[in-house]
């Protein structure tokens, strides 16, 4: 008789209430978090880094000695019911091959990283300062991972990742836990949160004197961009490319495969519609005018003597639904709430706000204002997932009830939004990035000093934060890994290969030496420019300059 040897995974599937590796499942197959053998680390702040953190924890493309999790064991990702736009958590076995994570105090085998996106970057700054001051407001809401709230995890994917949705609300008892974040992350440095327009509800603007209470470390540079939903993107293409061009939606070659651009960092088989050559463009000043409400009607853009909305003929662009026909040309902007670092960097890069005392702040939310009013419609969302939903639902004329964006009238409208460049790389969502000043949002263009919309992100923790045994080493490793160019290469390859080129994250030259000649090297993405100087830390209001003096002349 042959012996039958069952794997741990198979045994777990057969018998409830036993351990899978060292992660415990109950009798229904749901995960039970066991604090006795699990380090619990709480991170709050920028949702723009969400995929970065996710891939750092879960991707097998990260070199083995750099991984936080043991990829030979199951890795679990938990998301709120909105797909993780507000809260995520990751549970795994600590990686025994990472020398910085062996022999930790506490002797635990598992790690749970809770990542709060809700409220954006300022939630990675203000509670950290309050922690340093011992204030009660340092404690904020995180998702609870519990069998009563979370579904049975999915079957493992190719990399062993298992996912489960959890019911979450920060106002429903039992669905959240109040915790002081161990560290925070922000799209811009904490100094940018000293004004009310960048401060979340329930907090006061950051006092400059409080910045010394924090340890602030560079998390590298992240590309941001202006997105247009597909109806608007197509309209811009029609307006900016003649009918004889394959970039015009009316041209027969529009959907044909584009000529090979010989760029190893772009997917093969890209259509002309999605190619670098056919990306439409907005100028910095046009974006500034849109986000400050100076242009509330798409006919304010002129094509010769005609307004843009009137001039375009593409049926897809013009087939808008809902509301009064006379207001279907209203400008809609999908942006972020106060406290979002994505919104803060938008102000810095396009408006010089809050850098200059006379600068104009971006307009705030007015989603409740009727379209009949001659004002730009501003939809302020608390996460990048909400902006995605706003752009998508305004394109598709639908509404997902109970989620971040409420398109109750099922209207479709042209809309722009602000997003970081690790979303929609596969063009599966009904919106696309556009060029700014005719420059595409690629890492190469940032490294060559051509593309303006990038920000230097930071991690921060209170100098006096009380870490549990062993957890400071884990936090240090998460910070180190998130800004390591070897790790960033793996992450960019996974989520940054856009049809127009490679984008995503660049390591900071303050921590990693750039190419000696200032060349962009995709496999070791280090920015030769920084918002820091040798004598001062990162301040995104500072025009970036070459760190070691060597940049390419183009």
Q: Counting Cβ atoms within 10 Å, is residue 212 exposed (0-12), middle (13-18) or buried (19+)?
A: exposed
Q: Counting Cβ atoms within 10 Å, is residue 546 exposed (0-12), middle (13-18) or buried (19+)?
A: middle
Place of tokens 């062996």: 102
Residue 89's pLDDT is what? 97
How does DSSP assign 333-386, residue by residue? EEEE-TT-HHHHHHHHHHH-TTTSTTPPPPP---TTS-TTSSS-EEEEESSHHH
Residue 3's pLDDT is what? 29
d(CA 527, CA 37): 39
SS (H, E, C) 32-46: ECCHHHEEEEEEEEC
Query: Strands 302-303, 281-282: parallel, antiparallel or unpaired by DSSP?
Result: unpaired
d(CA 213, CA 312): 55
What letter does residue 66 receive in the DSSP assignment?
Answer: G
d(CA 364, CA 103): 49
Is 195:356 a contact under the CB 8 Å cutoff?
Answer: no
Average pLDDT by stretches of 10, the chain with 554 residues: 32 38 88 96 87 79 87 94 92 95 95 93 95 97 98 87 96 98 96 93 89 93 98 98 98 95 84 98 99 98 97 95 95 95 96 97 95 96 91 96 87 98 95 99 97 97 97 94 88 93 95 91 96 91 92 84
Q: Which domains does the chain have, with CATH numbers?
A: 34-219+455-539 (no CATH), 224-447 (3.40.190.10)
Length of the chain, please? Answer: 554
CB within 8 Å of 113: residues ≥ 6 apart: 41, 43, 53, 57, 68, 89, 90, 478
The overall longest dimension of the chain from CA atoms, in Å, is 87
Is 89:33 a contact under the CB 8 Å cutoff?
Answer: no
Measured CA angle at 146 (ends 140, 147), to 5 deg: 160
Please, what's the b/e burial string for 180-209 (b: 16 or more CB within 10 A of its CB; e: otherwise)? bbbbbbbbbbbbbbebebbbbeebeebeee
Phi, psi (deg, nearest 5) at residue 316: -60, -45
Integer angstrom CA distances of residue 208 from 190, 342, 356, 436, 464: 9, 21, 16, 32, 18
Radius of gyration of the chain (CA): 24
Torsion of CA 256, 262, 265, 267, to 10 degrees: 20
Helix axes 485-495, 50-58, angle to 10 degrees: 110
CB within 8 Å of 259: residues ≥ 6 apart: none
Six token digits for residue 395: 């394109």
* Cross-strand partners of 195: none
Six token digits for residue 186: 């922000």
Using one digit for the tens of pLDDT, what is the confidence trace for 393-436?
999 999 987 788 999 899 999 999 999 998 999 999 999 999 99
**Count of other CB atoms within 10 angstroms of residue 545:** 14
Q: Counting Cβ atoms within 10 Å, is residue 263 exposed (0-12), middle (13-18) or buried (19+)?
A: middle
Is 333:378 a contact under the CB 8 Å cutoff?
Answer: yes
């Amino acid at each position: 008789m042959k012996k039958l040897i069952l794997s741990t995974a198979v045994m777990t599937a057969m018998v409830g209430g036993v351990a899978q590796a060292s992660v415990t499942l109950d009798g229904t197959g749901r995960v039970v978090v066991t604090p006795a053998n699990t380090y619990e680390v709480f991170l709050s702040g920028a949702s723009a880094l969400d995929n970065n953190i996710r891939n750092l924890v879960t991707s097998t493309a990260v070199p083995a000695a750099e991984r936080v999790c043991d990829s030979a064991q199951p890795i679990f990702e938990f998301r709120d019911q909105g797909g993780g736009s507000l809260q995520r958590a990751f549970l795994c076995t600590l990686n025994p091959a990472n020398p910085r994570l062996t022999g930790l105090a506490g002797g635990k085998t598992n790690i749970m990283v809770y990542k709060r996106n809700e409220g954006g970057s300022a939630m990675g700054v203000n509670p950290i300062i309050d922690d340093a001051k011992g204030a009660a407001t340092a404690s904020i809401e995180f998702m609870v991972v519990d069998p009563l709230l979370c579904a049975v995890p999915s079957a493992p994917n190719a990399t062993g990742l298992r996912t489960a949705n959890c019911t979450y609300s920060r106002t429903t008892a039992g669905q959240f836990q109040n915790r002081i974040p161990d560290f925070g992350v922000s799209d811009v440095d904490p100094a940018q949160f000293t004004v009310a327009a960048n401060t979340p509800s329930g907090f006061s603007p950051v006092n400059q004197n409080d910045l010394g209470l924090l340890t602030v470390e560079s998390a590298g540079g992240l590309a941001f961009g202006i997105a247009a939903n597909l109806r608007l993107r197509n309209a811009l293409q029609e307006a900016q490319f003649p009918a004889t061009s394959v970039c015009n939606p009316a041209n027969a070659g529009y959907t044909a495969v584009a000529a090979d651009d010989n760029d190893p960092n772009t997917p093969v088989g890209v259509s002309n519609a999605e190619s670098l050559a056919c990306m439409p463009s907005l100028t910095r000043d046009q974006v500034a005018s849109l986000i400050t409400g100076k242009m509330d009607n798409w006919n304010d853009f002129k094509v010769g003597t005609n307004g843009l909305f009137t001039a375009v003929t593409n049926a897809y662009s013009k087939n808008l639904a809902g509301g009064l026909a006379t207001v279907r040309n209203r400008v809609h902007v999908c942006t972020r709430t106060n406290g979002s670092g994505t919104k803060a960097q938008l102000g810095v890069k396009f408006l010089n706000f809050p850098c200059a005392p006379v600068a104009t702040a971006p307009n705030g939310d007015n989603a409740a204002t009727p379209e009949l009013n001659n004002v730009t419609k501003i939809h302020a969302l608390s996460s990048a997932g909400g902006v995605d939903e706003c752009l998508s639902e305004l394109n598709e004329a639908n509404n997902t009830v109970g989620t971040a964006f409420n398109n109750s009238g099922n209207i479709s409208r042209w809309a722009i939004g602000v997003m970081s460049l690790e979303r929609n790389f596969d063009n599966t969502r009904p919106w696309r990035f556009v060029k700014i000043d005719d420059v595409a949002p690629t890492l190469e263009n940032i490294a060559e000093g051509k593309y303006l919309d990038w920000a230097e992100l930071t991690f921060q923790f209170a100098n006096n934060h009380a870490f549990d045994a062993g957890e400071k080493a884990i936090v240090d490793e998460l910070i180190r890994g998130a800004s390591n160019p070897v790790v960033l290469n793996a992450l960019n390859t996974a989520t940054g290969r856009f049809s127009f080129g490679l984008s995503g994250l660049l390591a900071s030259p303050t921590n990693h030496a750039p190419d000696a000649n200032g060349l962009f090297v995709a496999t070791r993405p280090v920015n030769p420019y920084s918002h820091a100087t040798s004598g001062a830390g990162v301040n995104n209001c500072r025009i970036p300059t070459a760190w070691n003096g060597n940049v390419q002349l183009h």
